[in-house]
């Protein structure tokens, strides 16, 4: 389930419909959440270096470039299928200004102490605890001292009634829509399994905190999404 090759195949297969389904599964909140999790970081009018991890199809780029207008933005993902669509978006909407990187963040050749900001939207749930620890170490390695990061992930609500309906929607309805779009509901059933196992971002935040980051936990709309942001201090 957490094997990188399995996850890559999963997202390669979903790539043709993922952006629409991400919008549907979050009831449209994903656009708002992307803006909100970026607001957790300091404003900057400088020519800063930003990298968006598990960038998918580049859904966060617009909000990132609006907030950090002078930034140099790099985008990393190991799914060739996702990057194919991200490349089209880069060409049509961003004049090919985004640097696309086809790499696995857990095994990468990114420069150390280079980035001012690291972002990641909806990529944490496909990692187990050991992989999140590796992610934390790599985030620490590639960030400059004083650099900031913000992560967000779809989570299980903290309201029992909402949890039931949210679980039914993601676990039953979304796979049906996935079958209509892909002819196979299994891929979208996996998204709920990942979310159900992930629960929320508290454990991930603790791991990042133990690595040495100053962190702050975040909850969005009754815990339907959670995340954390922080700063590299050493």
Please state the domain extents for the chain.
Answer: 4-231
Distance of CA 156 to the CA centre of its chain: 16
Structure tokens at 63: 């909000």
Q: In what order do the strands lie in the sheet with 225-231?
A: 99-102, 72-77, 49-53, 115-121, 143-154, 225-231, 214-220
Nearest Cα to Cα of residue 219 among 31, 37, 24 = 37
CATH topology of domain 4-231: Rossmann fold (3.40.50)
Residue positions counted in the chain = 234
Q: What is the structure's pLDDT at 163?
A: 83
Q: Are 7 and 77 in contact (CB under 8 A)?
A: no
Structure tokens at 210: 């133990």
pTM: 0.94
Query: Parallel, antiparallel, or unpaired: how do β-strands 214-220 and 225-231 relate?
Result: antiparallel
Q: What is the structure's pLDDT at 67?
A: 97
Q: What is the structure's pLDDT at 114?
A: 99
Which DSSP letter does residue 110 get?
P
Residue 94 phi/psi, 5° resolution? Answer: -125, 15
Q: What is the structure's pLDDT at 139?
A: 99
**Each residue's pLDDT expressed in tens, for the chain with a length of 234 residues:** 999 999 999 999 888 888 777 777 777 788 999 999 999 999 998 999 999 999 999 999 999 999 999 999 999 999 999 999 999 999 999 999 999 999 999 999 999 999 999 999 999 999 999 999 999 999 999 999 999 999 999 999 988 888 888 788 777 887 777 777 666 667 778 888 999 999 999 999 999 999 999 999 999 999 999 999 999 998
Q: What is the structure's pLDDT at 185?
A: 65
């Amino acid at each position: 389930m957490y094997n990188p090759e399995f996850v890559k195949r999963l997202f390669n297969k979903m790539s043709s419909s993922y952006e629409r389904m991400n919008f549907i599964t979050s009831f449209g909140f994903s656009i708002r959440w992307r803006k909100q999790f970026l607001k957790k970081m300091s404003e900057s009018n400088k020519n800063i270096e930003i990298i968006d991890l598990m960038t998918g199809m580049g859904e966060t780029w617009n909000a990132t470039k609006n907030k950090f207008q002078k930034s140099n933005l790099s985008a990393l993902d190991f799914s060739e299928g996702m990057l194919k669509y991200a490349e089209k978006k880069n060409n049509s909407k961003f004049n090919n200004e985004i640097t696309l990187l086809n790499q696995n963040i857990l095994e990468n050749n990114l420069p150390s102490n280079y980035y001012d900001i690291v972002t990641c939207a909806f990529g944490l749930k496909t990692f187990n605890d050991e992989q999140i620890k590796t992610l934390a170490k790599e985030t620490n390695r590639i960030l400059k001292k004083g650099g900031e990061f913000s992560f967000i992930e779809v989570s299980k609500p903290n309201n029992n009634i909402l949890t039931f309906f949210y679980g039914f929607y993601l676990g039953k309805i979304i796979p049906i829509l996935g079958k209509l779009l892909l002819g196979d509901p299994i891929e979208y059933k996996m998204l709920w399994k990942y979310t159900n196992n992930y629960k929320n971002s508290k454990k991930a935040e603790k791991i990042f905190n133990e690595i040495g980051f100053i962190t702050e936990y975040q909850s969005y709309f009754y815990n339907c999404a959670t995340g954390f942001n922080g700063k590299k201090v050493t």
